[in-house]
Amino acid sequence: MTAARRFHLFLSPHLDDAVLSCGGLIYRLVAAGERVAVHTIMAGRPPRPLPQSPILADLHARWATAGDPIDARRREDIRALSQLGALARHTAIPDCVYRVTYTPAGEPVALYPSEESLWAAIHPADTAPLLLDATPLLYPQTTALHIPLGAGGHVDHRLVRDWGRRLARANPGLDIFYYEEYPYSLNQGAVEAALAALNPPLDLAPILHPLDDDALAAKIAAIACYESQISTFWRDAEDMADAVRRDALVVGGGIPAEREWQPRG
């Protein structure tokens, strides 16, 4: 441990993943005087015109955001993170449901048009891996990098995880953590599958971050800022708060906690 103020950078695939997974830890770090930033990668605007796809029709109805859903989602993220005392940065790669290729006639065709496609192979025409390769560590003062583990196997989470691993190799002085993505992490076998899917393999040890009442309350209040996203996972904000409390107890084996994984040695 050094006396210098540490700087924690969380890589978040979407506008909510870091807070859903590590909102309590972020609160704790800020309360301990450390600095925290959350860099959300797939926060780009949709293409114009939008492609037609079943998943977009469904998502836009579910999010119920007026106007451009990305503007609304970015505002939710800034509110949640400023409440926790963390910086918010957004990169303009669109969510995979907005990534397209074009027909010879110039019509946009969705690369990930269905629910199933979100968990399948990365589309060969997807330029996100190349864009990520060209994206540096946004904060050179970073001392600890928190990377999504890929629990659940969403295509954007796998892409950001692999990019995070490349950043870790390019910046060998950093402390590296892999966070379990909540609520996917609660699905049977999701974390084990993510650990087994790491390629090249990594020897990781779990690290529990216990959450006191303040940290848990701050996490719930921050998640509540993502109003458009609540209905994806829960009935309403109250149902979310109950689930977050209950699930944190499961993670910590009786005391509320969040879990990350750290390379051994």
Query: Where do contacts with Zn ion occur on this chain (CB under 5 A)?
Result: 13-14, 17
Residue 156 CA from chain centroid, whole number: 9
Q: Of the two residues 95 and 168, which places its CB atom closer to Zn ion in the complex?
A: 95
Number of residues assigned to the chain: 265
Residue type, 74: R
Dist. CA 120–CA 112, nearest whole Å: 9
Smallest distance from the beta carbon of 77 to Zn ion, in angstroms? 12
Q: Of the two residues 13 and 256, which places its CB atom closer to Zn ion in the complex?
A: 13
Residue 11: closest CA among 130, 132, 124: 132
Smallest distance from the beta carbon of 85 to Zn ion, in angstroms? 22
| H/E segment holding residue 178 | strand 175-179
Q: Of the two residues 13 and 51, which places its CB atom closer to Zn ion in the complex?
A: 13
Token readout for 100 is 């397209």
Token readout for 110 is 């969705």
Smallest distance from the beta carbon of 147 to Zn ion, in angstroms? 13
Smallest distance from the beta carbon of 5 to Zn ion, in angstroms? 29
Q: Of the two residues 100 and 149, which places its CB atom closer to Zn ion in the complex?
A: 149
Smallest distance from the beta carbon of 177 to Zn ion, in angstroms? 17
Q: Of the two residues 26 and 35, which places its CB atom closer to Zn ion in the complex?
A: 26
Rg (CA), the chain: 18
Q: Of the two residues 59 and 249, which places its CB atom closer to Zn ion in the complex?
A: 59
Smallest distance from the beta carbon of 139 to Zn ion, in angstroms? 21
Token readout for 131 is 């864009």
For 82, 216, 249, 253, the CA distances from 177, given in Å and listed in that order, are: 22, 20, 21, 21
- Given the structure tokens 């600890």, which residue do they identify? 144
Contact of 257 with 208, CB cutoff 8 Å: yes
